[in-house]
Structure 1
């Protein structure tokens, strides 16, 4: 089903279409013109007299510098136009003439200026009731009239807009003092007090960090002392004796003692259980404590000993030992 009804070529339709926004103004600087920013059209459907209209941003054209008017009549500034996700964006500056100055003055006093774009449509297409079509990335539902191949002729500041899909606010630096303004005495005192408070907070933070480091060091020393006391108690209970110089234990090397101090509590306990004291004196071999040398015994022959053998046997029996 055809959802669009193209109209035959006709003279371009010109329309001044206001957008319901407040224009952003930037505070003036020395020797600079007053700057502003606004949205001329949101690219969404709006009510235009007795019908719903949407401007197609595809193939839309505008000059590199577009005229800015006051109520579509008086020259008030110049701007560049771009298209972004919010619509037809206008960034420019106001003239220093009476119209540009009046717009800036009214804005400073709180008047909510809106923007209006004057466009000429090359052709129009009608979307029938109930039909849907995507325009400018948004879905529109008929009946709606789409303006194609548009040309932007000028953008104006106006009091009332018709495009209610956009909004804006004054720039944040509107009421900030100029850089060359001197501080009052009260402002200078408040600034000095704030600066002093900041320095005090910095010093307090430095002191707190130093205290934390001290506490961490004390905690580490306490844990080390507790580990050493626990290892010493377990070694003593296992039968090891303290070394004469007070450093470590007899039978436990410095490397082993250091490993016990560095190990976890359960690991140190298991390691100590594997160690055995070596305090007992080594036993002396029996052979070193007894004289096992015995003189040769004569071999009796027929139950009788020779003269020398009998003499030796007699002397042995009397307890004499010769070596």
Structure 2
């Protein structure tokens, strides 16, 4: 199995496009940091009256929670959580970050995960289909390995590439953020979490790692879907086109459906963002993290059952 994975890994890095994708991701990070630095340079100096600002924000949130336009318990819970965090900051003299630091830049870089995911989808969509397109599938299948092991090695390699791109994004954001914005004040290097009715201080680094993992779930699931389409239909174009389209539109469409139909919670994209249970509120009121994990496991199982059955049972045309 190790030799199969190493062989697939070498195939990926024999392609010039792989290095172009990595270089483009780093360039996007640098451009993002430079733009943020330029915009902050044009802004006015931050106010020192942060306690008064948080008190005013809490007053506004409480008025909003009591308004007739707010009806869902999940929204009230979100407002209550934000109010509690603001009160904790005021009581413990923990001002919110008034300007960018390396940590805020890493947190902002999660918005670039879909771009990193775009490159991963290209690899996942082509890793099986290209064998048929290039005519190398017969050479691969005559090797003394069972078909399911060959397919598993390809899938593992695609996910290793996903981990590599996420590492490059995280490490690059840390290096660029530290260079452009510095480490920030010690009071800003802690994450405030609202757990079981209490505000607790947590490691900001661990929170960012968790945030990266949760935000990358949609890419992970779409890569599994692209891999399945690649194995079933043997078409990298179809796999890339459909998975990329869903990567950038699936969440938006699901949000629109969820505002009117409760059945939208069974959609894949209603469940890939587990951060909604930590920093926000569920897309549909009845959803829970347990429900989302079960739905993701079901989708994951279906994708792989279809991929492995198709690859191991279908004949290769002469």
Give the strand-richer structure, 1 or 2.
1
TM-score, length of structure 1 as denominator length: 0.18
Larger Rg: 1
Higher helix share: 2
